[in-house]
Amino acid sequence: MGDEKTDVWQGTLALMVLKTLETLGPLHGYGIARRIEQTSGQLLCLNYGTLYPALLKLEQEGAIASEWGASENNRKAKFYKLTRNGRKQLAKEAQNWEQTTAILARFLTPTGGQA
């Protein structure tokens, strides 16, 4: 049971991608996926069918930009970087996520959130 990996929760992948790019700078898709898995303590499993549509959507929204470059092993790879709009989106999504988790925490506390 301890080796089970969880799929990425709906609505959180964009936030994780944006935060990863803010923290580490430009990365290719494989690097983003590995970093998210590493940051989760290997609890999340990120497949390419999940990641690449999210990257495409973020790029279409203007949150990230991409350019071709050479990976660590000299293979052609698309590198993604955070844009100014992406930084704004990251701040907004992080705030929304903090509010959502605070609300959920009220339901999960033994007192039922009664203050």
pLDDT tens for residues 50-83? 899 999 999 999 999 999 999 888 999 999 999 9
Q: Which CATH architecture has domain 6-108?
A: Orthogonal Bundle (1.10)
Q: Which residues contact 33 (CB under 8 A, 6 or more apart)?
A: 46, 48, 51
**What size, in residues, is the chain?**
115
pLDDT band for 3, please (50, 70, 90 cuts): low
How far is the C-alpha of 107 from the C-alpha of 111, rounded, in Å?
9
> How far is C-alpha 6 from the geometric centre of its chain's CA atoms?
14
| Strand order, beta sheet including 76-82 | 27-28, 76-82, 64-70
pLDDT digits (tens, 9 = 90+) for 80-104: 999 999 999 999 999 998 998 999 9
Domain ranges of the chain: 6-108
Six-digit token pair at 87?
């930084």
pLDDT band at 110 (very low <50, low <70, confident <90, very high): confident
